[in-house]
Amino acid sequence: MRAAVYYNNRDVRLEECARPKIGPGEILMRTEASGLCGSDVLEWYRIKKAPLVLGHEVAGIVEEVGEGVKAFLPGDRIVAAHHVPCNTCHYCLTGHHTACNTLRSTNFDPGGFAEFIRLPAINVDRGTFKIPDLLSFEAATFHEPLGCIIRAQRCLNIESGQCLAVLGSGISGLLYIHLARHAGAGSILAVDPVPFRRDAALKFGADSAVAPDDEVVENLRGLNSGRLADQVIVCTAAEQAQYDALDLVDRGGTVMFFAIPAGEVRVPVSINSLLFRNDITLTTSYGAAPRDSWEALRLLQSPALNVAGMITHRLPLAQTGEGFRLVAAAGESLKVIIKPQE
């Protein structure tokens, strides 16, 4: 079979590799669509494991089922989570599924940018779902990034009328804005240096979109009756955004560090003036649990969510390298979908 093998962001090669063989409890999935995630182009992190086949936002068709698989049949349309929890450890039992050691060690074989994927038995058991009939393969790939946003918003518990500042209008920022609007948020300010992405933020639910150097504080106060943001969500890996977030949150508010900055970025925090006196909460959210993926599939059927409008590029497998270039450039692209069968 063919696979797009990652060596670095500028070197992604179409290569022939062995089609995976499945065992008991496993599924061989024919990959119909695979989304390119911003985390796929985190070169400082990915290159240490190269060469490898990336791609974890996948949708496809059951090609074969292993002995003992009862819930799926060849021909079923499915999505699958690449990381799945054990559901029995301390972290899972206390609701912190993405801190589970099993979740951090599970994955596909080889990855979504390949014609076929072997889904291990544990992924089949607790991370594979049938795609609703009216949902396209392309839209279904959003189950993974949308699931991550659902988990983050559940942690924050968005309340009606709250003012949000979302730093970064890539796909994570746009999904956060779009879902927050759907959940009843009040005013939403998007911050991004790229005009194309600011326009997209307005399209998907932001009330205002500004550049990082464009009087962000004044814009926030104008949206929120003189106050700063109730919630600040950092959806960009840009180091400066991690610092700026602390200047944009109102008393009693929350800062969510959602994106992954390069290396060991440290944010200086005053325990006294920022946290203690102003009652600020700093938090993070990583990944999605199975319940989040299931909820994402349910929400993707809603006409209120326009994820198809976020797809800017559809590329055949041979052009996966161009997809990496587009996502790494963070310019006039949003969601890039790879079509491994083309």
Residues 161-185 pLDDT 10s: 899 999 999 999 999 999 999 888 9
CA 2 to chain centre: 25
Residue closest to 215 by CA, chosen among 170, 248, 253: 248
Alpha carbons 342 and 340: distance in angstroms, whole number? 6
| Class at the top of the CATH hierarchy for domain 2-146+288-339 | alpha beta
pTM for the predicted model, two decimal places: 0.95
**pLDDT, tens digit (0-9, with 9 covering 90-100), for 183-215:** 889 999 999 999 999 999 999 999 999 999 999
Q: 3-state DSSP: the chain helix, strand, coil percent, rounded to 5?
A: 35, 25, 40
Distance CA 131, CA 335 (A): 20
Fold classification of 156-284 (topology level) = Rossmann fold (3.40.50)
| Contact (Cβ atoms closer than 8 angstroms) between residue 14 and residue 4 | yes
Q: Outline where 73-165 has alpha helix (H).
A: 90-93, 101-105, 121-127, 137-140, 143-156
Residues of the chain with CATH 3.40.50.720: 156-284
Residue pLDDT, tens place only, 302-341: 998 999 999 999 999 999 999 999 999 998 999 999 999 9
CA-to-CA distance for 300 and 293, rounded, in angstroms?
Answer: 10
